[in-house]
Every structure is written in C-alpha cells, then in structure tokens.
C-alpha cells in the first residue's frame, strides 16, 4: 500500500544547495543544483527560509571527527515552512506552518530517549552531520522534530535559536542547575552559544560575567544584560574573576572554547563550582591538576545539545519574549562560504544566518 503523502503545492524536482565533495575549510563549499530530498514515512519536507551557521558545521566539513558521506550538505539550524509530509498518522495541520527543528535526530525509543534524555540517544544522530542539513532550499526532517515557530518572529531570528539556545538551556538549567544569585562566567561571550548563555543565566537569576577577546563585543554583552565584562585578550582571566568576586571565584563557567581556556576556567571556579564544557573551538586537548578539582569539590560537566523537552522550553521562552535571538549578519545561501569565513574571523557577535 502506498504511504500517505501530502503536499502543499507544486515542488520542483531540483533545488539549490551548498555541498562539499571533499573535506576542508569553507573553501570546499560549493553552490549547486541538486535533487530535492525524497522524504520517508514520518518525515517532513521543509522549505528552508533561513539557516544559521554553527561551529559544528565546520567540524563536519573538516571530516576528522565524524564519518561523513560525500557529497554532503551541512546545516543543523533551520526555520522554514512545511511543504510535504509522509506517513499514515502524520499531522496534516503542520503543512504550510512555519517551523523550527530540534536538531537531534534521536531514535525516541532507546532507554535514554525513553527517559527523556534524547541528547544521549544510543544512536545519536544530528541534522546536517549524519544526514543532509539546512544549507539548501529544502531539507528533510523527522516530523516529530518540528515545532511551530514562535509567533511574531522572523525566519532569520527563528533559525538563530535551536542549537545555541538549546545548548545554553541544557548547560545552565539542566547540567549546572544555576541558582538565583549565583555567578556565571560565560567565555566566548560574543559567539552564538555565548550570547545564548548570557541570556539563559539571566533567566536563571544569576549574575553574569561575560568574557571575550574584543572590547566591541563586550559592550554588546553589557547591553544584553551582563553585569561584568572581561577582555581576556588584554587582562588575565583568573585575576579579573577573583577581583570581581572578591577572591571567591564563580559558581559556574560556560566554556565552549576548549584547549585555550580550560585550565583558566577551572581556576576561576569557587568551591563547589561547576565547569560546563560544550565545545572545542580552540582545540580539544587540555592538561589540568586533578587536585584542583577534588580539593575544592569542583565538577566538570560535559554537555551536548539538549533534550526535546529542553527544546520545547526554549521555544516557549522565545514565544514569551524572554530570550532574544541576536543576529550578527545575514548572507544569501550562495554566500555560505563567506558566512563561515566570518565565523572563523571571530569578528561576529551572535548568529550568522543564511537566508532564502
Ligand atoms: Zn534513542
């Protein structure tokens, strides 16, 4: 029996997409005409209105950490319109709606998924890494990953939310369990995760110290609501943190940077402090003194993305205007390589978006 398939209107057979045929930096990206993805039962075809750039896209392109089938379309963040759904029992009401996608392609039935921990799914897959992603005019996404966009929000803003705010929410609310009046140090504060973490720490009622490597970015962090800022290209991070906290240290450090900051992040913690690591933009190796961890009863917490319930919370917060996507710049899909170069230049503040 043929599977039910519902389509909103005529869809072309081909689309524009950004793919790579070999591994490397942004220069391997190529703007091409490719077939529109075929969807399988349970999937939806989303017409991409905006996609945002994440560091993971660059790791995918490098090809060192993940096994990627070539050619490949990157992109984990998408906001768009549902054009087609497939499979009996699909929610017909979602056709034509503006949606964002939970980027974790969880199985939803392993023991971790069943207990609500989709970001540690035993067969964890990721949009734009394990399947083709959103640097395209259309992307196929499991229908159960789609959530209606917050109202009164542009597609560009909506596409800036999923990976950054989901990761920030999981780190601050679920892992570090930040409490009111605690102090949170956010490193890489001008990045997508950094900007989201500042906002999420404020929602938790914490005091926020934003640290970045340019005065210009720090002014923007201050405008976002950070209580203190540190330019760690000019000043010693740990000394500044101790100055601000009266020698106590911070309760939580959010560190998406990795090698370059890990030991300083650890040294910035108060007793019982929690260091949350979520990325390796400067490299993945670090050496540290184990005694510095246990003597002060500190914790090192690893996180990756967040769970589906976390994602729903993030979208609710966005709908209530409690969080605010911050867009650095918008490029056309054909400008994906330039957009990624801007991310690598470290001059951006907030999210870089590809727009249809
Ligand atoms: Zn699972």
30 forms bridges with which residues in the sheet? 19
Q: Are 228 and 279 contained in the same domain? A: yes
Report percent pLDDT > 90 for the chain. 91
**Cα(301) to centroid of ligand 1, in Å?**
21
Q: Are 350 and 295 contained in the same domain? A: no
- Specify if 318 maps to a domain: no
**Cα(104) to centroid of ligand 1, in Å?**
10
pLDDT at 270: 98
Residues 234-267 have pLDDT tens digits of: 999 999 999 999 999 999 999 999 999 999 999 9
**Cα(113) to centroid of ligand 1, in Å?**
4
- Specify if 310 maps to a domain: no
Q: Are 132 and 240 contained in the same domain? A: no
State the pairing for strand pair 98-101/77-86. Answer: antiparallel
State the pairing for strand pair 14-20/29-35. Answer: antiparallel
- Specify if 276 maps to a domain: yes
**Cα(100) to centroid of ligand 1, in Å?**
21
For position 190, which CATH number holds? Answer: 3.90.180.10
Taking the C-alpha atoms of residue 187 and residue 184, their distance in angstroms, rounded to an integer, is: 10
Domain that holds residue 197: 165-302
The band of 126, judged by pLDDT with boundaries at 50, 70 and 90, is very high
**Cα(223) to centroid of ligand 1, in Å?**
40
Query: Which tokens sit at 226?
Result: 């950070």
* For residue 214, pLDDT beyond 80: yes
* φ, ψ dihedrals at 230, nearest 5°: -135, 125
**Cα(117) to centroid of ligand 1, in Å?**
8
Domain count, the chain: 2
Separation in Å, CA 328 to CA 77, 310, 346: 15, 25, 11
**Cα(355) to centroid of ligand 1, in Å?**
32
Residues 68-116 have pLDDT tens digits of: 999 999 999 999 999 999 987 778 889 999 999 999 999 999 999 999 9
Taking the C-alpha atoms of residue 34 and residue 39, their distance in angstroms, rounded to an integer, is: 15
Q: 248 CB contacts (<8 Å, ≥6 apart)?
A: 242, 270
Q: Are 227 and 109 contained in the same domain? A: no
Which one-letter DSSP state was computed for residue 308?
A: H
pLDDT at 3: 64
Residues 282-294 have pLDDT tens digits of: 888 999 999 999 9
- Specify if 317 maps to a domain: no
**Cα(102) to centroid of ligand 1, in Å?**
14
- Specify if 197 maps to a domain: yes
**Cα(55) to centroid of ligand 1, in Å?**
24
Q: What is the DSSP string of 237-267?
A: HHHHHHHHTTTS-EEEEEE-S-TTTHHHHHH
- In a 10 Å sphere around its CB, with 0-12 CB exposed, 13-18 middle and 19+ buried, how is residue 304 labelled? middle
**Cα(334) to centroid of ligand 1, in Å?**
35
**Cα(140) to centroid of ligand 1, in Å?**
19
Q: Are 63 and 169 contained in the same domain? A: no
State the pairing for strand pair 77-86/14-20. Answer: unpaired
In this prediction the pTM is 0.96
Mean pLDDT of the chain: 95
Which one-letter DSSP state was computed for residue 172?
A: I
Rg (CA), the chain: 20
**Cα(169) to centroid of ligand 1, in Å?**
20
In the chain, the N- to C-terminal Cα span, in Å, equals 36
Q: Are 323 and 165 in contact (CB under 8 A)?
A: yes
Taking the C-alpha atoms of residue 109 and residue 132, their distance in angstroms, rounded to an integer, is: 23
Q: Are 220 and 271 contained in the same domain? A: yes
pLDDT at 6: 86
Q: Are 190 and 348 in contact (CB under 8 A)?
A: yes
**Cα(268) to centroid of ligand 1, in Å?**
36
- Specify if 316 maps to a domain: no
**Cα(270) to centroid of ligand 1, in Å?**
36
């Amino acid at each position: 029996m043929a599977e039910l398939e519902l389509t909103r209107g005529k869809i072309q057979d081909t689309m524009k997409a950004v793919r790579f045929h070999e591994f490397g930096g942004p220069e391997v990206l190529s703007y091409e005409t490719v077939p529109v993805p075929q969807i399988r039962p349970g999937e939806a075809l989303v017409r991409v209105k905006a996609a945002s750039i994440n560091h993971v896209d660059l790791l995918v392109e490098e090809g060192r950490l993940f096994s990627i089938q070539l050619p490949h379309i990157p992109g984990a963040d998408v906001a768009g319109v549902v054009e087609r759904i497939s499979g009996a029992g699909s929610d017909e009401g979602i056709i034509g709606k503006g949606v964002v996608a939970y980027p974790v392609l969880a199985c939803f039935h392993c023991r971790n998924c069943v207990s609500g921990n989709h970001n540690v799914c035993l067969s964890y897959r990721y949009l734009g890494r394990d399947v083709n992603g959103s640097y395209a005019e259309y992307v196929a996404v499991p229908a159960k990953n789609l959530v209606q966009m917050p109202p009164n929000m542009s597609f560009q803003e909506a596409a800036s939310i999923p990976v950054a705010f989901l990761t920030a929410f999981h780190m601050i609310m679920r892992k570090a369990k930040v409490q009111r009046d605690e102090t949170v140090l956010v490193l890489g504060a001008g990045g997508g995760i950094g900007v989201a973490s500042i906002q999420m720490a404020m929602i938790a009622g914490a005091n926020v110290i934003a640290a970045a490597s340019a005065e210009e970015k720090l002014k923007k962090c201050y405008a976002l609501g950070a209580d203190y800022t540190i330019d760690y290209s000019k000043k010693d991070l740990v000394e500044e943190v101790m100055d601000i906290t009266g020698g106590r240290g911070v309760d939580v450090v959010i560190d998406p940077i990795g090698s370059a900051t890990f030991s300083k992040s650890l040294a910035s913690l108060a007793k019982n402090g929690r260091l949350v690591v979520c990325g390796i933009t400067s490299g993945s190796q670090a050496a540290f003194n184990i005694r510095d961890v246990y003597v002060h009863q500190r914790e090192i917490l690893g996180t990756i993305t967040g769970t589906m319930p976390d994602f729903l919370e993030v979208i609710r917060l966005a709908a209530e205007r409690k969080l605010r996507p911050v867009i650095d710049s918008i490029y056309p899909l054909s400008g994906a390589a330039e957009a990624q170069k801007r991310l690598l230049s470290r001059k951006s503040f907030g999210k870089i978006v590809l727009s249809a």
